[in-house]
Amino acid sequence: MRHVPLAVLIALSLSGSVLAKLPALSDEAKAKAAEVAAKSAWSDKVGAYKLCQAMDRVADGYRKEAKATGKEPSAPVATPGCADPGPFAITPAAAKPIEASGAHSPSGMAVGPPSTNATSTQISPKK
């Protein structure tokens, strides 16, 4: 019969804690993760834009050098222009209504009086 080394037994006993489920992320953590993902995507677009500009500069330099040495460079290949991603901007998530009942807030500012002129004592008189 084989004896199991003590290190294997310890490793097996501790491996159960690794399989534990993590708690759900809070809304703030989800918003922060979304912002980080958006910033990363924007950074990728900026990198692609700068690479596109560098490739255009190299191609223009090659054509100028070829013409200067008397060689006729091949016609440039039609490629889409470099798209500038612009400054980083993130759109905040829409704010949820504050009401405890979960009712939706009206879509705009109130432009008229409430539908009734009755006071609260007239609506629900004391018993």
- Residues of 78-89 as b/e, b for ≥16 C-beta within 10 angstroms? eeeeeeeeeeee
CA distances from 46 to 36, 41, 113 (A): 15, 9, 51
Residue 95 scores a pLDDT above 70: no
- Mean pLDDT (the chain) is 79
Q: pLDDT confidence of 125, banded at 50, 70, 90?
A: confident
Give me the residue spans of the domains in the chain: 32-64
Residue 94 scores a pLDDT above 90: no
- pLDDT tens per residue, range 18-58: 667 888 888 889 989 999 999 999 999 999 999 999 999 99
